[in-house]
Amino acid sequence: MAELPVLELPAALSHCSGRFTISTLLGAEEGGRGPYAATEGAGCDSAHPTHLSGSTLCTRTFGYNTVDVVPAYEHYANSKGVGDAGKGRPSLADLHSILKPDPGHLCAPVAEPQRGNGLPEAGPEEAAGEPGRAPAPEPVRFGWVKGVMIRCMLNIWGVILYLRLPWITAQAGIALTWLIILMSVTVTTITGLSISAISTNGKVKSGGTYFLISRSLGPELGGSIGLIFAFANAVAVAMHTVGFAETVRDLLQEHNSLIVDPTNDIRIIGVVTVTVLLGISLAGMEWEAKAQILFFLVILVSFINYLVGTVIPATAEKQAKGFFSYRADIFAQNFVPSWRGPEGSFFSLFSIFFPSATGILAGANISGDLKDPAVAIPKGTLMAIFWTTVSYLVLSATIGACVVRDASGSLNDSVAVGSPGCEGLACSFGWNFTACAQRQSCRYGLSNYYQSMSMVSGFGPLITAGIFGATLSSALACLVSAPKVFQCLCRDQLYPLIGFFGKGYGRNNEPIRGYMLTYVIAVGFILIAELNAIAPIISNFFLCSYALINFSCFHASITNSPGWRPSFRYYSKWAALFGAAVSVVIMFLLTWWAALIAFGIVIFLLGYVLYKKPDVNWGSSMQASSYNMALNYSVGLSEVDEHIKNYRPQCLVLTGPPNFRPALVDFVGTFTKNLSLMLCGNVLIGPRKQKMPESRLTADGHTKWLMKRKIKAFYTDVVAEDLRSGVQMLIQAAGLGKMRPNILALGYKRNWRTASPQSLEDYVGILHDAFDFKYGVCLLRMKEGLNVSRVMQAHVNPMFEAAEHPEENGTGGRTAPGTADPATLAGEQQASTVFQSEQGKKTIDIYWLFDDGGLTLLIPYLLGRKKRWRKCKIRVFVGGQINRMDEERKAIVSLLSKFRLGFHEVHILPDINQKPRPEHIKRFDDLIAPFRLNDGFKDEATVNEMRQGCPWKISDEEVDKNRAKSLRQVRLNEILLDYSRDAALVAITLPIGRKGGCPSSLYMAWLETLSQDLRPPVILTRGNQENVLTFYCQ
């Protein structure tokens, strides 16, 4: 821990309560300066490297002063990136570096309220109010009972409970009905456990199901499921409202009081009902919660009314309809199935019942309105599943023990017990339903009468009230859920044209615009008045959500991410995977065509988000999975021996700042894209202490610049005292395992004649270093040059003066002013280069003069496979003798055909060894003249003494010894100008200068002479003399 000595502080600072600013501490440390006079309201400049962004930099925690602070909630709140510094926590520089007082950055000691548990007193999402303004009213927050359990129970209970469960019991029998219930509940329970795990793995905000899935699986799946889930909830409002309207319409028909006609009555009642529900929702979450409690009480009363009715002795009228109170023989008969009609099968009944087990997401969907979502969602959801399951099991068992399957409803069918000709269980109770049972014309009984619960209950209208409560509560829950989910989706801006609906109003941030949109969608579907076609699709949308929630839990668990630490422990990743698989199976069991439509919509929306690549980072499990896969594959690669067939040109590109040399970046990016590794290297020259902050600041911006340019590459930089040592670091340390560069790509040094001699020596030394480390070398020269930093800075700032040597090298040791801001780097205008344009029907000319292992052939071949270069014809030029031209051409064509490169045009250069023209020889001599020692062929010791301190100088003996090689470069340039003046690209084998035998200035003169006066880009390539091409299959 960084300690500071305990000093006597001025009395004026006694109000600090043990916390002091860094200015105070530094003032105490610097004895000669005396105490600082801090003024009221003085602020800290957090940009200063040795000043903390908070006001408290010292605490008396352990009896002495320390810059370190104790752990606190504020240090971790709202942190997203790995590098985010916690608010109020000292940076590493504050603890590690030497702190120097700066009178311009003084901070007044500010007393802070101490909290016993280290947590904020107010809600964590509460925004700080402005000075002088009244604090905003507290938003309404709900606990687990009112906010989740009751809401989920109401959404799970529906008309199926009242109208279809007795009929399912009659068809499947009590035993199989329980199996259907338990199978359905198994899926929802597993999903509930998955929701519980996800919702307790960090702070849950508003957005419900969409928030949970998107923050776990990422925006691609989260966005698609969020959109269809919000739409499904909006249409579910119409479905539940139409269910209510149909019940009301049936009551009106019984009393001959139809408003218009049966269909239009549903529309009128439905629109009026949904309008009233909208009014309740707009009144605020508090009023909506009160309405839900009212519906909950109505349903409870209806249940109690039903249970009381089962123990009341049956009247003759009820007995005629098949109700005889609890009887063991009725229970025994109804315990086994009795399949009837086209829907008389287990899976048909399962598909009818399963939607009544859904609705478990109602509580999670209002996660932003819960006091503590991490506690409320698990507890409330699982308790809702438990109690609704108990209610379903009790209802099926009790009604199956009280009511026979067939009854006529006629009081005239009563007979004496034991009467002849009477068949069926009712005969033992004094009723003969044989006639209608045989004709299958009975109107009553469990198998025929959907209103059996109403008939059994003590007071029938209360069951109708329960149906009203179940339908209206479900409609209201969906009406609230859809806008809440949609609002979060709109704010994330994953899809266009929906941001308008993300605005919130009032203390609860209510999505009023979302409510209105949901209302319009619901009214539209209510006016259709026939939802049988759309209902299966909606059910499948909900099942999609279940499947993805379970998969989210499984995927987060299987990736072993350290960030997956749910406080809810009672879940299993394999159970979650099972739940996801079963949800998909159930989708196809319910309605296969609806499942296909749901999958099609999800895939379409998924593809859109994948194409758009939204700029969001939520730390999803997909990111963790990508890391795991990359790590496993990288380790796996290390276990496999390399093979020539799998050789890939993996390039370390000395770009400097990549935006300074876009042509070099585009050239290498073109042939490495989706094929091999590309690493952009930058050497920051200068003191480490000075350059490290610059490195941290610019790295992210350069990476974003590459992404914006659609270059698939990594960026890395090193801080070094000089260029050559920095490149040596990159060459040795770049890459991982087998994912290591094997080619050094750099730009040609245009200003070598005017640059400092040491920079010239460093440049040629870098090439020697590459060969020493068994790298191939690819050197790019363009007539207009590579470095565009001067143009860029003149565009940004007309008064800018460029660096001393803007074309110094392919790495660029200096960073020009104005390029340090990452946002500026990523947002700057992209420079266009020749490698981004269509090349047309030009030629790519390869001068394969020396056998380097085939790299000179391979790079142009990879370039020619790309779309912009595909129309170019590739020509290969090789040296040869004039009297053996045909034989040599056939040999090269045969060799190239074995390589399967598709190069068919081969030219033999018989005049390659001819003497160049005198004027060109003179031009070369003039080029090297400034760099000659002019020693007059003195002995080696004298030459070394004359060359002391200037190793780039060329002795007369070296000129004479390398004369033939020098003239070859002059002659090759003449040939290049003759054959390739109009080519799209020229690739030449790079000549090698022997270490210690060829001064750097002479070597640069060779490269200058070889490639001068050429309009097309020239790439000088030399492999590491190991094969990169093979014509064998193994």
pLDDT band at 523 (very low <50, low <70, confident <90, very high): very high
Name residue 734's amino acid: A
Question: Could you report the per-residue pLDDT of 483-518, keeping only the tens digit for each?
Answer: 888 888 888 888 888 878 888 887 777 888 989 999
Rounded CA-CA distance 978/427 in Å is 114
Question: Could you report the per-residue pLDDT of 108-119, keeping only the tens digit for each?
Answer: 334 344 333 333
- Residues in contact with 364: Cβ distance below 8 Å, sequence separation at least 6, in sequence order: 148, 195, 199, 208, 209, 212, 373, 377, 381
Rounded CA-CA distance 382/693 in Å is 51
Name residue 97's amino acid: S
Rounded CA-CA distance 536/589 in Å is 11
Question: Could you report the per-residue pLDDT of 703-732, keeping only the tens digit for each?
Answer: 889 988 989 999 999 999 999 999 999 999
List the one residue out of 328, 353, 308, 340 whose CA is nearest residue 406: 340
In contact, 691 and 684? CB cutoff 8 Å: yes
pLDDT, mean over the chain: 80
Rounded CA-CA distance 140/788 in Å is 58
Question: Could you report the per-residue pLDDT of 731-765, keeping only the tens digit for each?
Answer: 999 988 888 999 999 999 999 999 998 899 999 99
pLDDT of 793 over the 70 cut? no
Q: What is the pLDDT of residue 262?
A: 80
pLDDT of 289 over the 60 cut? yes
Question: Could you report the per-residue pLDDT of 431-479, keeping only the tens digit for each?
Answer: 888 878 888 888 888 888 888 888 888 888 898 899 888 888 888 888 8
Rounded CA-CA distance 269/257 in Å is 13
pLDDT band at 38 (very low <50, low <70, confident <90, very high): very low
Top-confidence residue, 561 or 336: 336
Measure the CA angle with vertex 631, ends 626 and 637; round to 5°: 125
CA-CA distances (angstroms) from residue 192 to 187, 308, 386?
Answer: 9, 32, 11
CB atoms within 10 A of CB 631: 11
pTM of the model: 0.70
Beta strands in 152-199 (DSSP E): none
Rounded CA-CA distance 840/1011 in Å is 23
Q: What is the pLDDT of residue 99?
A: 57
pLDDT band at 945 (very low <50, low <70, confident <90, very high): confident
- Looking at residue 741, the DSSP 8-state letter turns out to be -
Rounded CA-CA distance 1005/1009 in Å is 6
Q: What is the pLDDT of residue 960?
A: 87
In contact, 219 and 616? CB cutoff 8 Å: yes
pLDDT of 1010 over the 90 cut? yes
Rounded CA-CA distance 333/1028 in Å is 81
**Mean pLDDT within 141-152:** 88
List the one residue out of 498, 605, 708 whose CA is nearest residue 220: 605
pLDDT of 12 over the 80 cut? no
- Residues in contact with 155: Cβ distance below 8 Å, sequence separation at least 6, in sequence order: 359, 360, 362, 473, 474, 477, 478
Instruction: Give whichever of 71-85, 198-212, 559-573 has the largest mean pLDDT.
Output: 559-573
For 780, list phi and psi in degrees, rounded to 5. -105, 130
Rounded CA-CA distance 551/645 in Å is 39
pLDDT band at 875 (very low <50, low <70, confident <90, very high): very high
CA-CA distances (angstroms) from residue 151 to 146, 173, 384, 488, 706?
Answer: 7, 30, 8, 20, 49
Buried b (16+ CB within 10 A) or exposed e, 259-274: eeeeeebbbebbbebb
pLDDT of 864 over the 80 cut? yes
CB atoms within 10 A of CB 1016: 21
Stretch among 11-15, 300-304, 376-380, 565-569 having the lowest mean pLDDT: 11-15
pLDDT of 909 over the 60 cut? yes
Q: What is the pLDDT of residue 7?
A: 40
